[in-house]
Structure 1
Amino acid sequence: MTRLNRRDLLKAAGAAGALNLLWPLSAGLSPAQAREAAEALGADYDPAPFTLGVASGDPQPSSVLLWTRLAPEPLATEQNLPEIVEVDWVVATDPQLRRVVARGTAPASDTLGHSVHVPVSGLRSGTRYWYAFKALGKTSRIGRTRTAPVADIPRVRFAAANCQAFHDGFYAAHRGIASEDVDFVVHLGDYIYEHGQVGGVPADHVRDHEGPAVFTVADYRRRHALYKGDASLREAHAAHPWFLTWDDHEVANDYSGTGGGAPFMQRRAAAYQAWYENMPHRDSGTSALPDPEIHRVRRWGSLLELTVLDLRSYRSAQNLPDGTILGADQKSWLTRGIDRAPDSWHVWANSIMLSQLRGRPGGSYMFTDQWDGFLTERGEVLNHVHRSGLEDLVVITGDWHSAFVDDIRTDFDDTSSPLVGTEFTAHSVTSGAYSADWNRTNGPLMGRANPHLKYFEGNRYGYDVYEVTPERFSAHMRVIADRRDPLSPVTTLTTFHVDRGTAGSYEDPATKNSPAQWRRD
């Protein structure tokens, strides 16, 4: 088959002088022209008005959050809809929606982009359900979800994804996630990219220019709608319930949620609103705006405790003696949770790398937008983990566009310091990684500079599947063959295990000869 590549199409359009005809969010395009341009880049949409699909999120033992958003013209600045549209919803125990267990009606208002967030309660724990919406005489696709169990369970499987730049390729990884037998999905951030465009090409590919980026609610809504135009992403949302956190590109590259003047705070508010409108997110209060609450603890039976962190909203500037990545309130919340943690696996959903990462032996450089820019607080948190006696800690991370496996130590510069957990950093869905030459050269340098680093592989794209039993935590690195191919097959690159009660990971012997730029023997 002919393989399309969004990046190649955009570059070819630039050479032909036809950029504004191919980038869907270019200024001056009508909604129909924008959609035609998106479809030329491989996008498509569900039938109107449910063009962006359906989703569920934040599953709990008796409840789950259902989501959809009415957008008959997904890439329009304004939707031609009444101010309020009544949306019917239904939940059933069968995919034909015949055995209905809950139904109702929810208002979709223009104020929130005609989005619908329905917290359905009174459900049975550990049970699979199907759901759908109806509005304006039309019915949505049918979604599938699951509630959390409460009893002892023999196994939980879940997937983690991150970093899915639309202009960098097709979401074959999400197609893989949709077909996985998993209980839920964790998205670790960079769901969209806010990059500006120069003449229609994303500025990410024209690095010596800074074109117009996204600033308003309408801008961010259209960006989310473009990303939802990938059918595989909609399939993954419809197949499983999701837990969500965010990183920087949902708003602006490397931003601090507490920094910047009024123009930036307005931009942040616009980004947060559009993110909420387009995600199956359940907030703890009566309204998620202006600041959705991301951090939360959820349990999957007695087997797994999931702690979702927000590492953007409350952080200070980097490299300050008293700097914070968590913020005072979230830090207190996290340490209290460590003190009260049950006897189970403890998984932290962490958008940016927790482990130290020096660039080369003897070098002082570290990428300080991640936890390396907040050394004092990281040390405080990890020492608290050690003093509390918390065991079986696994941190799952995104952001790097490459796969890492790290031992977590209370002091990464002291190889004799206590080993308190394992961090798995997953490949990106599509977002461009460093070149193969860079990875080949720098993988060994990073390995020698970071004695806690066990594995690095940066030439591939995909997602992770985690399989958890009372005895073992296994990380399966799923990779796609080619991000130019929306139907790219998925294979398992390698698998790492962590045994219950024993800090530290080891690679499965069956996959230990798989390609990598660094592995510690």
Structure 2
Amino acid sequence: MKTNRRDLLKAAAAAGALGAVWPLVGDLSPAQAVEAAGLLGAEYDPAPFTLGVASGDPTPTGFVLWTRLAPEPLAAEQALPEVVEVKWVVAEDRDLRRVVARGTAPASATLGHSVHVSVDGLRDGRQYWYAFSALGRRSRLGRTRTAPAGPVSRVRFASANCQAFHGGYYAAHRGIAREDIDFVVHLGDYIYEGGPVSGPRGNGTAVDFTLGDYRRRHALYKGDRSLREAHAAHPWFLTWDDHEVVDNYSGTGGGAPFMQRRAAAYQAWYENMPHRDDSETALPDPEIHRVRRWGDLLELTVLDLRSYRSAQNLPDGTILGARQKDWLKRGVDRAPDSWHCWVNSIMLNQLRGRPGGDFMFTDQWDGFLAEREEVLTHVHRSGLEDLVVITGDWHSAFVGDVRTDFDEPSSPVVGTEFTAHSISSNAYSPAWNAANGPRMGAANPHLQYFEGNRYGYDLYEVTPERWTTSMRVVQDLQDPVSPVTTLTAFHVDRGKAGAYEDPATKNSPAQYRRG
């Protein structure tokens, strides 16, 4: 087994030698930084495609293909020509013989020598393979698919969130890469802007401001082989949370230095993600919120809960922003007869800290009470059924009823929220979870389940009759090839709001279960 990443960093910090082992600290050259990253288990694909390949945002006729040329992955800028022509190919077979599309795209220094190819004109519901070539080299092979159109009998997908590199290995992404699924949804905190010594909520010590800083951090994270494997295996839908920029930020607050930092962070995110931007220009503000459909079975609504929010705890505060809120409500009004999944980076459900207490984590929707009530009341009045919300951020697993009024236990249940374990970001301690799980359950009657001692991802299987969420957890966060098992599973029946635990797994460990 490789070096224990988290313990090595803690020991180095305690000895005052963090600069010798943390690749993003100190005055290390790009080669020295790669060597330091190697001590933490990082390794890269052959140059210039060191960061791998990826696909995203599948539609019935196509998808986006991504790669980034980075011969020196941990350099802020690459020693490459201003523009490099990159060839790409899409085929119906893994040997790339039955070619259905090919072309050439420019990789410019302006966008970190990244490539975003929007492929269109393909057949719906089909699997494809793809690869890039440039500078006399070919990338690894990627696999992707188009979304289906028309009747669909099943969709399987996974969600991931909160993957602090310093927290441990990405065995969960290794599991995702090997799952038989149609796509992956990333719920945010793909990177952490802080340093390697972090508290339970992921607050770091280092400060990054420049585009180069964020580029290097994205490249460090993609040094984990399992993350590159998960990208190459499936198409991804993406949203973001706060740590892609800075902890607990509001996208509309702050002066010029913060706005410059946000622009740098957003650009680096775009440069390193298989994201299709529907606006006229992806920068300086990539457009994240979108609706995508998987045939007639699933409507996926991706939310951006950072870019347009106001400060917290204001009577007229907004987490969505006026335009996104109107867009969401219009979508509810004209939603098709299908399952509806909101991709939500921070908890929608109310979460009081103790019975009768006023304390709530107001960086979540709890900091925007009036808008939450407005949106959920609109869902109820519209008659929308079969709403499931999938959420990250908390580094723990929750299952809860979504109600129009969380302080009124008799208010209508309009959906279910599944909050997933983190990939690797530090959770609260087992002692904290044991003490506070029952307190949160008593203080929040809509809460069904809480488990905070594990790491992993959620796997969803959706049919016309039932939604199933399986909590997939790794055995050992410090083992890069740790086995993955199912901790428990919950079901939601079509036409009936509210989830119930699978009888076969309801005796699994948890710090709280309702009833």
The corresponding residue for 1:21 is: 20
Question: Structure 1 residue 43 and structure 2 residue 36: aligned?
Answer: no
Separation in structure 1 between the aligned mates of residue 243 and residue 171 of structure 2, nearest angstrom:
21
Structure 1: gaps spanning 5 or more residues: none
Within the candidate set 422, 425, 430, 1:431 is matched to 425
CA contact (8 A) 2:200 2:427 kept: no
Letter in 2 for 1:180: E
- The change in CA–CA distance for 1:211 and 1:181 in structure 2 (over 3 A counts) is closer
For the residue of structure 1 that corresponds to 2:504, the secondary structure is helix
Separation in structure 1 between the aligned mates of residue 367 and residue 106 of structure 2, nearest angstrom:
44
Separation in structure 1 between the aligned mates of residue 216 and residue 39 of structure 2, nearest angstrom:
17
Give 1:20 deviation, angstroms. Answer: 1.4
Give 1:11 deviation, angstroms. Answer: 1.9
Separation in structure 2 between the aligned mates of residue 163 and residue 9 of structure 1, nearest angstrom:
20
Separation in structure 2 between the aligned mates of residue 477 and residue 298 of structure 1, nearest angstrom:
24
Letter in 2 for 1:514: S
Separation in structure 2 between the aligned mates of residue 17 and residue 66 of structure 1, nearest angstrom:
42
- The change in CA–CA distance for 1:489 and 1:425 in structure 2 (over 3 A counts) is same
For the residue of structure 2 that corresponds to 1:204, the secondary structure is coil
The corresponding residue for 2:279 is: 285
Give 1:16 deviation, angstroms. Answer: 4.3
TM (normalized to structure 1)? Answer: 0.97
The corresponding residue for 1:227 is: 221
Question: Structure 1 residue 389 and structure 2 residue 388: aligned?
Answer: no
Question: Structure 1 residue 345 and structure 2 residue 344: aligned?
Answer: no
Within the candidate set 473, 480, 487, 2:474 is matched to 480
The corresponding residue for 2:400 is: 406
CA contact (8 A) 2:266 2:286 kept: yes
Separation in structure 1 between the aligned mates of residue 398 and residue 245 of structure 2, nearest angstrom:
25
The corresponding residue for 2:300 is: 306
Q: Summarize deviations over 1:167-226 as a string: whole Å, max 9, x none.
A: 00000000000000000000000000001x4xxxx242699x975411111000000000
Q: Summarize deviations over 1:313-342 as a string: whole Å, max 9, x none.
A: 000000000000000000000000000000
Separation in structure 2 between the aligned mates of residue 10 and residue 39 of structure 1, nearest angstrom:
13
Separation in structure 2 between the aligned mates of residue 17 and residue 452 of structure 1, nearest angstrom:
46
Letter in 1 for 2:224: D
Within the candidate set 472, 475, 497, 2:491 is matched to 497
The corresponding residue for 2:411 is: 417
Q: Summarize deviations over 1:120-152 as a string: whole Å, max 9, x none.
A: 001100000000000000000000000000010
Separation in structure 2 between the aligned mates of residue 107 and residue 210 of structure 1, nearest angstrom:
36
The corresponding residue for 1:515 is: 509
Separation in structure 2 between the aligned mates of residue 106 and residue 167 of structure 1, nearest angstrom:
34
- Quote the sequence identity (%): 78
Question: Structure 1 residue 157 and structure 2 residue 156: aligned?
Answer: yes
The corresponding residue for 1:363 is: 357
Report matched runs for 1:231-380 at 5 Å.
231-380=225-374
Q: Aligned residue pairs: how many?
A: 514
Letter in 2 for 1:317: A
Separation in structure 2 between the aligned mates of residue 53 and residue 287 of structure 1, nearest angstrom:
25
The corresponding residue for 1:64 is: 63
Letter in 1 for 2:11: A
The corresponding residue for 1:460 is: 454
Give 1:413 deviation, angstroms. Answer: 0.5
Letter in 2 for 1:127: R
Give 1:13 deviation, angstroms. Answer: 2.1
Q: Summarize deviations over 1:15-47 as a string: whole Å, max 9, x none.
A: 444321100011210111000000000000000
For the residue of structure 2 that corresponds to 1:26, the secondary structure is coil
For the residue of structure 1 that corresponds to 2:454, the secondary structure is coil
Q: Summarize deviations over 1:67-100 as a string: whole Å, max 9, x none.
A: 0000000001221100000000000000110100
Structure 2: gaps spanning 5 or more residues: none
TM (normalized to structure 2)? Answer: 0.98
Separation in structure 2 between the aligned mates of residue 122 and residue 428 of structure 1, nearest angstrom:
36
Shifted more, 14-23 versus 125-134: the winner is 14-23
Letter in 1 for 2:169: F
Letter in 1 for 2:150: A
Separation in structure 1 between the aligned mates of residue 279 and residue 440 of structure 2, nearest angstrom:
43
Letter in 1 for 2:50: T
- The change in CA–CA distance for 1:416 and 1:351 in structure 2 (over 3 A counts) is same
Give 1:310 deviation, angstroms. Answer: 0.1
Give 1:262 deviation, angstroms. Answer: 0.3
The corresponding residue for 1:189 is: 188
Separation in structure 1 between the aligned mates of residue 389 and residue 330 of structure 2, nearest angstrom:
18
Q: Summarize deviations over 1:472-507 as a string: whole Å, max 9, x none.
A: 000000000011000000000000000000000000
Question: Structure 1 residue 471 and structure 2 residue 465: aligned?
Answer: yes
CA RMSD of the aligned region, Å?
A: 1.2
Separation in structure 1 between the aligned mates of residue 49 and residue 176 of structure 2, nearest angstrom:
22
Letter in 2 for 1:453: L
The corresponding residue for 1:180 is: 179
Give 1:357 deviation, angstroms. Answer: 0.2
Give 1:3 deviation, angstroms. Answer: 5.5
